[in-house]
Amino acid sequence: DAGVTQSPTHLIKTRGQHVTLRCSPISGHKSVSWYQQVLGQGPQFIFQYYEKEERGRGNFPDRFSARQFPNYSSELNVNALLLGDSALYLCASRFGPADTQYFGPGTRLTVL
Amino acid sequence: DAKTTQPPSMDCAEGRAANLPCNHSTISGNEYVYWYRQIHSQGPQYIIHGLKNNETNEMASLIITEDRKSSTLILPHATLRDTAVYYCIVRAVTGANNLFFGTGTRLTVIP
């Protein structure tokens, strides 16, 4: 069975630009969460979506937004990129909001 | 904030058991103990989780003390591919609770 997939694998942007990251959950999973992992730290929770509704939000600025589509895939959008947004962005999916999460390989974003 | 304490690093000889400790002294009765690992630059990989009883699967065993204030993840026969950062996380049983990662334990398996 296919696991969580994310695209693109790598991305390079400049300060002030906008970026969209994509995630496809494991088949049958209805909940998606996004995490940011900067170098040397553990992943930090950004958003959770379940059945297309936001179910949780971490301590991130309004420049970060996300949505979930009817097929349960999800997009993470970041506006007005800063150098500090350079990180590995991880998507995790689960069947229901309280179930075990399974992570994708991540998207490596570099902001120059 | 992370509610677990782990040693920053450990070494283990290849073929030997790797025992990774975790303290979670403030754990409540409705919180699981979860373990994930992350091999360099990849997404975290789920290993195992438990509530009260010891658990075993094809990857590892999880031993939880009777008072639930600490646990140990056991990799029975460590291989070089087990070199990774191991995260111990407590998470509520119910509700849309997401994972709060600390800095984990960097396990190095030595040939």
Contact A42 B104 (CB under 8 A): yes
pLDDT band at B2 (very low <50, low <70, confident <90, very high): low
Exposure b/e, A29-51, CB count within 10 A at least 16 = b: bbbbbbbbbeeeebbbbbbbbbe
Residue B38 pLDDT greater than 60, yes or no: yes
For A66-75, what is each residue's pLDDT tens digit? 999 999 999 9
pLDDT at A65: 97
pLDDT band at B93 (very low <50, low <70, confident <90, very high): confident
Residue B96 pLDDT greater than 80, yes or no: no
Residue B94 pLDDT greater than 80, yes or no: no
What lies within 8 Å, CB to CB, of A98 at 6+ separation is B92, B93, B94, B95, B96, B97
Residue B61 pLDDT greater than 90, yes or no: yes
For A83-104, what is each residue's pLDDT tens digit? 999 999 999 999 987 789 999 9
- % of residues, chain A, pLDDT over 90: 91
User: Does any CB of chain B come closer than 8 Å to the CB of residue A100?
Assistant: yes
Contact B102 A42 (CB under 8 A): yes
Average pLDDT over residues A22-50: 94
Residue B1 pLDDT greater than 60, yes or no: no
- Residue among B43, B94, B99 whose CB faces A98 most closely: B94
Would you say A44 and A35 are in contact if contact means Cβ atoms under 8 Å apart? yes
What lies within 8 Å, CB to CB, of A59 at 6+ separation is none
Average pLDDT over residues B49-75: 95
- Indicate the residue type of B102: G
- Shortest distance between the Cα of A15 and any Cα of chain B, in A, equals 23
Contact B103 A101 (CB under 8 A): no
Beta strand A10-13 with A107-111: parallel, antiparallel or unpaired? parallel
Whether residue A8 has a cis bond before it, omega within 30° of 0: yes
Query: What's the mean per-residue pLDDT of chain B?
Result: 93
Distance between start and end Cα atoms, chain A: 37
Residue of B nearest to A35 (CA): B99
